[in-house]
Structure 1
Amino acid sequence: MHSRFIGIFDSGVGGLAVYRAARELLPHSAFVYVADSGFAPYGDREPRYIANRVIEITDALVKSGAQALVIACNTATVTTVSELRAKHALPIIGIEPAIKPATALSTRGKIVVLTTQRTAESDAVARLCQRYGSNSHIVLQACPGLADYVEAGEVDSIEVNEMLKQYLAPAIAIAADVIVLGCTHFTFLTAQIQRLVGPDVTIIEPSIAVAQQLARQLVLTSPDLSHEACATETFYTTALASNTVSTVMSKLLERPIDVLTANHLGLECR
């Protein structure tokens, strides 16, 4: 069983983008990553279903020794982060579509946010658009099915390229100069997106910003978590086919990754 660590979780493998950034910034920390692959996707689920999953995973990580948590999922953050922070005293870092920095970077005031249906419909994102987007044209483009391809490790297939063309059509139509990746899975499609929209369009992916916020919180609350003696990484999935998840994670991180079933953390797997 683990002792003290940083917990990171997502509906699946998309949060590995955040994990990778955190690992680079905090190379001597202990990390535990949970992919809720057995219950994914979150993007088209009802908010209460998502909240129940997130609370169950969070409780398991805290019970196992997590000293800080990162919700590496936009959908989980916009539906549940307030509830989690009310329940747990440890630092909880979430991730939301980077609408504020997008409005600051855009010179044309034309922004497209690629996201899931649930995130696009959330009150949290509506508030972000209202607060920061009064002088911008912001299009919230839901991308159903796209995260599923990444979850299966298909990031460069013809099917993914065709789906991206469909979902990027609004960005091209309005001549958007900034695209926000509002789902961590989409980070692994950045090169394909850039190729389709052209080099003059800025793509915002917030994994580094989330990792930096985590590092700032650790300085204040648990500076010892960055000690060299703690440097470990453990990966779990709620999918029974952990070997399949291991193959996908290894492809996305470009190195061998061993994945355990999350019943070791007391979580249901299927």
Structure 2
Amino acid sequence: MENSKYPIGLFDSGIGGTSIWKEIHSLLPNEDTIYLADSKNAPYGQRSKDEILDLSIKNVEFLLDKNCKIIVVACNTATTNAIKELRAKYSKIPFIGIEPAIKPAATSTKTQTIGILATKGTLNSDLFHSTVSNFKDIRVIEQVGHGLVRLIEDGHMDSRETESLLRSYLEPMVEAGIDYLVLGCSHYPYLVPQIKKILPNHINIIDSGEAVARQTKNILQSKNLLNMSGKEGEAVFYINNDPTVLTKILKAKHKVITADF
């Protein structure tokens, strides 16, 4: 199919979803990708469901204008608050969502206690509560990561303020006996080095990146949309705010375009 050569589209409320993009690019190196970083409106986690839906629709329209063949909602908050409506509104295009990896943590825990660090929007969503309700025998320690997205967007992953916030969020979870920490925001994988300094070695850290990449490949395969050209894919990143941090985490290897959207 000719449209198999069209790009994969991804969007997030900023640069965090590049953690998802990296997994997809690693698994599907021949695919062209277009990433939209809505940094101007980050974080989505503090916004209402209607605001999140409106922003998500705007992002999808942008990616559809670029002929994207599939759209990855590389944002936990947008997935848990808007993906149902997006699939209904744009029924001809496949959507891949990202939500906290509760299931692997809940089915693997030995202490029957897991922690989740996520945005307010994700933790308050119906989809999240529905997922957690499937594991009634598991104690889930929920923590809103107030302030973390903004620090990451500003490039302060290694700052004392970030470490202080993380300690205040994570140390009570450690005391509660968690053996798995679920990262429920696509920004948070960029904090793993800091998190590992705080958590004891026996606590496992889980994010959704690899699972999302595998699901993207599976859907493309099932719809005969995999790019079989054999050429290395081109990656283009659009951002509506200062591109400095995005360019830094991409190590200047890919095209970054500042745009008003």
TM-score range, shorter chain: over 0.9
- Cα distance between partner residues in 1 of 2:146 and 2:73: 21
- Cα distance between partner residues in 1 of 2:184 and 2:88: 24
Superposed counterparts of 1:115-194, under 5 Å: 115-131=118-134, 133-194=135-196
Could you say what the CA RMSD is over the residues aligned between the two structures, in angstroms? 1.6
| Preserved CA contact (<8 Å) 1:34 1:262 | no
- Cα distance between partner residues in 2 of 1:42 and 1:145: 12
Superposed counterparts of 1:1-270, under 5 Å: 4-88=6-90, 89-131=92-134, 133-229=135-231, 231-239=233-241, 241=242, 245=243, 247-263=244-260, 268=261
Query: Identity across aligned pairs (percent)?
Result: 35
| Preserved CA contact (<8 Å) 1:237 1:259 | yes
The letter of the residue matching 1:159 is: E
The letter of the residue matching 1:221 is: K
Structure 1 gap ranges (5+): none
- Cα distance between partner residues in 2 of 1:224 and 1:41: 32
The letter of the residue matching 1:261 is: T
Quote how far apart the aligned CAs of 1:226 are.
4.5
The letter of the residue matching 1:125 is: F
Residues 112 and 224 (structure 1), Cα distance of their counterparts in 2 relative to 1, 3 Å cut: closer
TM-score (norm 1): 0.91
2:93 aligned counterpart, secondary structure: coil
Query: For 1:205-252, what per-residue CA distance to the aligned partner results, in whole angstroms no more than 9, with x for missing partners?
Result: 11011000000001011434353347111000122x3xxx2x212332
Query: For 1:164-219, what per-residue CA distance to the aligned partner results, in whole angstroms no more than 9, with x for missing partners?
Result: 00111221120210000000110001121122011110000110110000000010
Quote how far apart the aligned CAs of 1:257 are.
4.0
- Cα distance between partner residues in 2 of 1:54 and 1:79: 10
TM-score (norm 2): 0.94
Query: For 1:69-123, what per-residue CA distance to the aligned partner results, in whole angstroms no more than 9, with x for missing partners?
Result: 1000000000100011112221100000111111011111111100001111111
Deviates most, 247-256 or 82-91:
247-256
The letter of the residue matching 1:92 is: F
The letter of the residue matching 2:129 is: A
| Preserved CA contact (<8 Å) 1:110 1:176 | yes
How many residues are paired up?
257
1:140 aligned counterpart, secondary structure: strand
Higher share in helix: 1
